[in-house]
Structure 1
């Protein structure tokens, strides 16, 4: 899922071989879930592949990089209204089309009051990201139909979305898990929005340490969003298990007067923010809350007028 404004659209994808279709059911056994998750990390990216992008009557060409990715900033001649639109990606060999898939992109319009940028693991999806064994067991034995969200997340996010407010999901999960996340969000009725994930990985070791790394890419993607949508303010939601508070603190300084509130779900034994961080948010007039459960965030959002009953 891509995203953009009336003048510029960002699209991204990957070209892979040996990539099976993934269909999960709530009744699937652990062995099947294990095989499917394993196969997500054993597909091979295809570099230097030309990809044709079709937007309505317009066509654009891009090429995959060494890791099989392509990304493109599109300046369409036609005007797209706010909302979701289709885009076609295709691969041709000697003028014969050998592959075609449909994608989507979201145009953010002027009626949006604010946007929401949310982490996924241990913010929406119960993941135990800081406990390696628990995390690996969940990933390998459950699927999108049987993994659980935190209580109240879907209802809270739907209130934040309202009629026009966009959602973006910035996560350290890899692109390998894209279909899993799409399925999970649909099953749990969580508002639809573009996923901004960590680069594709390949191999068993990468599967074991999925979601790891420096998380710097989150800061880069938040900067891209806030630069592309300069008139939109944001709510930021994350958890205390990784570096979300620090990443959001950087955004606070880089984009002053653009952040309405920050909600951090408490994971582990962390009881509060350090004094320096608390003071910085206070000086900027941005509420920073460490929440035990979703209801606390809902209560605050109602109090300050971000959501309505």
Structure 2
């Protein structure tokens, strides 16, 4: 591909000029038996640690500066770079792909349930610690959350506005959807061991930006499952729906004991995607919560002032799990709490919660 050839030539040129590489940490997750490790390696002018700060803090600050706004999409990936992953005393190696990413499954990692730090390095980059979440075998509750228009108010699908938001504005200019962060924190207060997985069609390039946004607005930390290129749902040579389907089915395989609360919005295809997944894997879903966009938000999302789900409704009434809707987290919270407290195997819905 032209893009691959361009990146390879640019990477070689930068190396010849003395550039090195930098590792961008991405949060991983896994079960007690296997761990999914993410990271990206990009070209950089050189590792310049601030002597006034701890080395690790300086590296993270440098990563954030290099991946803010438009810079995230102009970084040069380090292709076919050898990457070393150290988990306790175990060493595993991998090579980056065409985008400079690694997505590696490590079996028999030996970590206990909870949050850990593993170490990722390469011959031309300083080692950095990367967060990973190990989900215990006794965990039964989990949240899969969309990002755009679900936790973050955005006009992403409109190319011109998306470009403005992505390349020029900072995360501080974006707005959190009212009540969603509070709802997530309340759910985790009842089941603190429950993982929160953020599933989006956004690009991996935006991961540092999204991490800052979630942290700043009080959302629980959690792994993000993003795509390899493009800032919009219409995207550049990728299918957002296919990405979400694949990741949901992978979560079902990797964590069969977790029943997920699937949270999304009706601006794009979340009702359809979640319905199709639930129909195929009913034992893996606790319920579905859909944020309803306003007519104005629908216009920004896909030009017309009604939801895609209104035009071609997903057959949620055929599902045997609760499906709830509201315009924000404050409206969803009481309905979702009832789902969270119930067990899908119990049969009838909790009071006040409809099925389908």
Relative to the length of structure 2, the TM-score reads 0.73
Q: Give the secondary-structure state (helix, strand or coil) at the position aligned to 1:22.
A: helix
Offset at 1:77?
5.2
Offset at 1:265?
1.5
- Residue 270 of structure 1 aligns with which residue? 306
- Residue 266 of structure 2 aligns with which residue? 240
Map residues 74-223 of structure 1 onto 2, 5 A cutoff: 74-76=106-108, 78=110, 80-92=111-123, 98-162=125-189, 163-199=192-228, 201=229, 206=230, 209=232, 212=235, 213-215=238-240, 216-223=242-249
Offset at 1:161?
1.9
| Change beyond 3 A, Cα 1:179–1:84 | same
Q: Give the secondary-structure state (helix, strand or coil) at the position aligned to 1:46.
A: coil
- Per-residue CA shift, 1:9-31, capped at 9, x if unaligned? 1112221114863359xxxxxxx
How far apart in 2 are the matches of 1:164 and 1:182?
20
Alpha carbon RMSD of aligned pairs, Å? Answer: 2.5
Offset at 1:290?
3.1
| Change beyond 3 A, Cα 1:183–1:49 | same
Choose which of 308, 327, 343 in structure 2 pairs with 1:292.
327
Map residues 223-262 of structure 1 onto 2, 5 A cutoff: 223-262=249-288
Q: Give the secondary-structure state (helix, strand or coil) at the position aligned to 1:102.
A: strand
How far apart in 2 are the matches of 1:235 and 1:112?
13
Offset at 1:110?
3.8
Offset at 1:260?
1.4
Offset at 1:175?
0.7
Q: Give the secondary-structure state (helix, strand or coil) at the position aligned to 2:172.
A: coil
| Change beyond 3 A, Cα 1:124–1:44 | same
Choose which of 47, 54, 63 in structure 2 pairs with 1:21.
63
| Change beyond 3 A, Cα 1:293–1:138 | same
| Change beyond 3 A, Cα 1:148–1:222 | same
Q: Give the secondary-structure state (helix, strand or coil) at the position aligned to 2:206.
A: helix
Relative to the length of structure 1, the TM-score reads 0.84
- Residue 306 of structure 1 aligns with which residue? 341
How far apart in 1 are the matches of 2:174 and 2:263?
20
How far apart in 2 are the matches of 1:21 and 1:195?
17
Contact 2:156–2:233 under 8 Å retained in 1:
no
How far apart in 2 are the matches of 1:77 and 1:181?
28
Contact 1:129–1:211 under 8 Å retained in 2:
no
Q: Which deviates the most, 209-218 or 145-154?
A: 209-218
| Change beyond 3 A, Cα 1:231–1:113 | closer
- Residue 34 of structure 2 aligns with which residue? 8
Q: Which deviates the most, 118-127 or 281-290?
A: 281-290
Q: Give the secondary-structure state (helix, strand or coil) at the position aligned to 2:331.
A: helix
Contact 1:160–1:306 under 8 Å retained in 2:
no
Return 5+ residue gaps in structure 1 as ranges: 25-34
- Residue 96 of structure 2 aligns with which residue? 64
Offset at 1:274?
5.5
How far apart in 1 are the matches of 2:209 and 2:221?
14
Return 5+ residue gaps in structure 2 as ranges: 1-26, 46-61, 299-304, 343-356
